[in-house]
Amino acid sequence: MAETPFGATRRWAAPGSKSAELFGRAQGVMPGGNTRTTVYMAPYPPYAASGEGCFVTDVEGDRRLDCLNNYTSLIHGHAHPAIVEAAGRRLAQGSSFPLPTPEEIELATLVCDRLPSAEHVRFTNSGSEAVMMAVKGARAFTRRPRIAKFEGAYHGSYDYVEVSLGSTPENWGSLAAPASIEYSLGTPPSVLEDVVVLPFNRTEPTLARIEREAKSLAAVVVDPVPNRVGLIPARRDFLQALREVTAKHGIVLIFDEVISFRVGYHGAQGAFGVTPDVTTLGKIIGGGFPVGAVAGRADVMSVFDPTSGQPRAPHGGTFNANPVTMAAGIAAMRLLTKDAYARLDETGAKLRASLQACFEGAGVAGGVTGMGSLFRLHGTDREVVDYRSARATPDEAARLQRIVRRLLEHGVLMSITGLGCLSTPMGDAELESLVETFAAILAMEPSS
Ligand SMILES: Cc1ncc(COP(=O)(O)O)c(C=O)c1O
């Protein structure tokens, strides 16, 4: 293969590499040498040493264009000077207290200013916790036990929202009424009974099922741009229909914008023009530090209010709203001006089109989905409209894995699932090199 723009970055894979040695040590103290399923890749991943702007350097000294940005969190890339300064200054003054700090009010104000559905905000330490608290809050508000979520959609590690995350053709049931399938083995049957599973972007069966189950439903949880469903944006009329049916039955409509808040200044809800009752956030709002938030209408959020005695939904958390995360988040969000979003949008659309053209030019079956600064590669040229159509066959999955692995060996870091995203420090030169690398890698594939 001819020289690719970023050069070869394969040293981690060599026997005796520093990454191999670290993985050996990790296996002695962590199951499978791993403490975060998402970052595992066979037989072992390169270990990161440092990051600067849109590049990350591994412990072997190989540098890659970071198209994953810690799973979409680092919208300004690594070690942005304004974020380093804000977090460092706050860290030097103490990192957490059993008292609130002024910073939490500032970040909450910023979220309320930008997010149409946000009147009040609660901070958590992760997106998973934010979703868990949003669901618990909805139950407390409605006094109903069950929730509805979409087949294949990821919302973090809470039992209820993991239901049907990994459904297969053998167990997923009918499209109109998908089966509730456990993801983590041993999930209590009661959890499965309390989760109604819906087909994404299919209005009629979704509405029919919600109508049938409405009396017991506290919440409908939907990610408007669900990554694991194939990063296919929701149709606006679909979200609008969800808005109407949930309002009619007093069900709390929760938008999970842990990832999709990065698609627009007012989040995905601003881009689609549909306002939920509650939104969950995470990732970009922490400026690279652990974070989550539940934001919503004041009456729903009042379930967390402790001022008149025991809240209807008590919510603690030792590190909630810790001031280092808050300071970093404020700095990161301030850098995200409307102009910054416009540039990310424009570059994202251009990149998706270029990658798609590479598939077509190489005669390799593949496709690209996404929105704003998000993109996802697929190992198929079939039209993907929902979880079932996006689910890769073994051949398609193998093709995608090969492509992502070769990208990793040629200076580009992406998710093994095909997810990628932009960061503000990425310039035209980096993106052109990315497309050139991608084309060179596809040329290694047999055409299909
Ligand atoms: C849509 C969505 N919701 C929730 C989560 C969970 O967030 P965290 O990993 O911070 O717990 C994620 C994480 O990727 C996500 O993509």
What is the tens place of the pLDDT at every residue in 107-131?
A: 999 999 999 999 999 999 999 999 9
156 Cα to the center of ligand 1, angstroms: 5
**Distance from C-alpha of 89 to C-alpha of 76, rounded to nearest angstrom:** 19
Q: What is the pLDDT of residue 431?
A: 97
SS3 144: coil
Protein residue with its CA nearest to atom 3 in ligand 1? 155
Q: What is the mean pLDDT of residues 184-202?
A: 98
> Does the pLDDT of residue 169 top 80, yes or no?
yes
Mutate to test the pocket of ligand 1, among 129, 132, 155, 227 (most ligand atoms within 8 A of CB): 155
Give the position, in ligand 1's atom list, of the atom nearest the Cα of 153.
1
Structure tokens at 329: 């988040």
Asked if 180 and 149 count as a contact pair (C-beta separation under 8 A), the reply is no
Q: What is the mean pLDDT of residues 319-327?
A: 98
91 Cα to the center of ligand 1, angstroms: 25
Indicate if ligand 1 lies below 6 Å from the C-beta of 279: no
For residue 84, give every residue at least 6 positions away whose Cβ sits within 8 Å of its Cβ, in sequence order, or none.
none
> Does the pLDDT of residue 183 top 90, yes or no?
yes
> Does the pLDDT of residue 448 top 80, yes or no?
no
DSSP type of residue 376 = E
Question: What's CA 273's distance to the chain center, in Å?
Answer: 20
Q: What is the pLDDT of residue 2?
A: 67
> Does the pLDDT of residue 3 top 90, yes or no?
no
> Does the pLDDT of residue 246 top 70, yes or no?
yes
Indicate if ligand 1 lies below 6 Å from the C-beta of 67: no
50 Cα to the center of ligand 1, angstroms: 23
CA distances 416 to 71, 403, 405, Å, are 11, 9, 8
Q: What is the pLDDT of residue 447?
A: 75
Q: What is the pLDDT of residue 307?
A: 97
**Distance from C-alpha of 271 to C-alpha of 18, rounded to nearest angstrom:** 45
Q: For residue 395, give the H/E element and its range.
A: helix 394-409
Residue 370 forms beta bridges with which residues? 375
Q: What is the pLDDT of residue 446?
A: 84
Q: What is the mean pLDDT of residues 14-36?
A: 98
- Going by C-alpha positions, the residue among 212, 158, 211 that lies closest to residue 187 is 158
Our CA dihedral for 141, 142, 148, 153, rounded to 10 degrees, sits at: -10
| Average pLDDT value over all residues in the chain | 97
For residue 420, give every residue at least 6 positions away whose Cβ sits within 8 Å of its Cβ, in sequence order, or none.
67, 68, 374, 375, 376, 377, 414
The question of whether 154 is a catalytic residue gets the answer yes
Indicate if ligand 1 lies below 6 Å from the C-beta of 162: no
Give the position, in ligand 1's atom list, of the atom nearest the Cα of 260.
1
Indicate if ligand 1 lies below 6 Å from the C-beta of 153: no
Structure tokens at 229: 């469903």
176 Cα to the center of ligand 1, angstroms: 26
Specify the pTM.
Answer: 0.98
307 Cα to the center of ligand 1, angstroms: 30
Q: What is the mean pLDDT of residues 203-214?
A: 98
> Does the pLDDT of residue 293 top 90, yes or no?
yes
Per residue, what are the HEC states of 28-90? HHCHHHCCCHHHCCCCCCCCEEEEEECEEEECCCCEEEECCHHHHCCCCCECCHHHHHHHHHH
Q: For residue 398, give the H/E element and its range.
A: helix 394-409
Q: What is the pLDDT of residue 231?
A: 98
Confidence of residue 1 (pLDDT cuts 50, 70, 90): low
> Does the pLDDT of residue 359 top 90, yes or no?
yes
Q: What is the pLDDT of residue 372?
A: 98
Q: Out of 44, 66, 149, 154, pick the active-site residue.
A: 154
Better pLDDT: 202 or 2: 202
Q: What is the mean pLDDT of residues 155-173?
A: 98
Indicate if ligand 1 lies below 6 Å from the C-beta of 223: yes
Indicate if ligand 1 lies below 6 Å from the C-beta of 127: yes
Indicate if ligand 1 lies below 6 Å from the C-beta of 152: no
> Does the pLDDT of residue 43 top 70, yes or no?
yes
Within 13 Å and on the Cβ side, how many CA atoms surround 244?
10
**Distance from C-alpha of 216 to C-alpha of 73, rounded to nearest angstrom:** 35
